[in-house]
Amino acid sequence: MFKNIMGFEVKSGMSELTNIYLDLTLSKFESRELRKQEQSNCGWSSPSPKGCKDLVFSMDEVTLITFQEDYRDIPAAVVKRELEKEIRKIEQDEGRKVSIQEKRDLKSSVVFELSQKAFIKQRRINVLISSEAKMIFIDTSVASQADKVLKLIGDTFSDVSLSIIPVPSFAVLTGWVRAPERMPAGFEYGNSVKFEYGDGASNKIVNLPFSSDEVRTAINQGGQVTELGIHWSSGLEFVINTKKNALTGIATTDHYDDGLDANCDEESLEGYLAAKAWVAGAEYAGLFRLFQLECGGEN
């Protein structure tokens, strides 16, 4: 269901995330159209892509909500180019250097002028809440995007406190590659491993077993595993990315998809999404519990 996952433990305020008035609470921070002078805004939107107005899709102890950001797409390179033109014009016309404060003011002016012509884009990020596991899962591997979602959660739910659930560290992953029998039950090597070295160099090895000469050489040269592809027995495939503290490139096997469709036999799209979220929530909770228990990830 997700393409990436960052997991968070709910330390306090779980009742706010599961009460029967959740839809009403979210509606106070619902997404809206971008105003003329705004560069961006964030709010909650319906998880359904088909125009359903419900902000909450829920089944049993799993809830799906969706963060939405509308923003004006102004490439940084364009801002830099236009700002440099303005600075050169002042220096040539007035024969003086432009101060730091003037540059800041000019940049604000350039951004505003460009924003009036810029395309408005939209970013949607799904969020799963598992009340039984007391966990939240965000569909991103980008820290800045996760921060925006977390800020909106904080603005919406004043008593909610979250802490990130670490994925296995590079030391743990390197240990798995050295001795595959240390991998948790149900984990299998997913045919990709990335090594990084003390001098900043890196290399990625694909479609070769841990026992291959290439992998053994990387280990013997002091390579640390920062990304490791995994097949999980549940039918999920993903990459553990230690630098992003996230799971990336999540995919599912045909067997998993067939089982998911069998468990999500709902007539409406909204019902299907809620059922799909329920299955995914259980899978993600189990996976991150495993990280906490077997990989020393509990914080």
Q: List the chain domain ranges.
A: 6-72+120-164, 76-115, 170-294
According to the model, what pLDDT value does residue 64 have?
93
Smallest Cα–Cα separation from 160: which of 285, 11, 281, 26?
Answer: 11
Global confidence as pTM: 0.84
User: How does pLDDT run across 189-229, given as a tens digit for each residue?
Assistant: 998 999 999 999 999 999 999 999 999 999 999 999 999 99
* Percent share of the chain, pLDDT over 70: 91
According to the model, what pLDDT value does residue 233 have?
85
Reduced to 3 states (helix: H, G, I; strand: E, B; else coil), residue 30 is strand
For 20-42, letters b (16+ CB in 10 Å) and e give eebeebbeebebeebeeeeeeeb
Geometric angle at alpha carbon 216, from 213 and 218, rounded to 5°: 105
Question: How would residue 58 be classed by pLDDT, with cut points 50, 70 and 90?
Answer: confident
pLDDT of 298 above 50: no
Edge-first strand order for the sheet with 202-206 is 202-206, 187-196, 224-232, 236-241, 246-252
pLDDT of 27 above 80: yes
pLDDT of 299 above 60: no
Question: How would residue 297 be classed by pLDDT, with cut points 50, 70 and 90?
Answer: very low
pLDDT of 147 above 60: yes
Smallest Cα–Cα separation from 128: which of 284, 295, 297?
Answer: 284
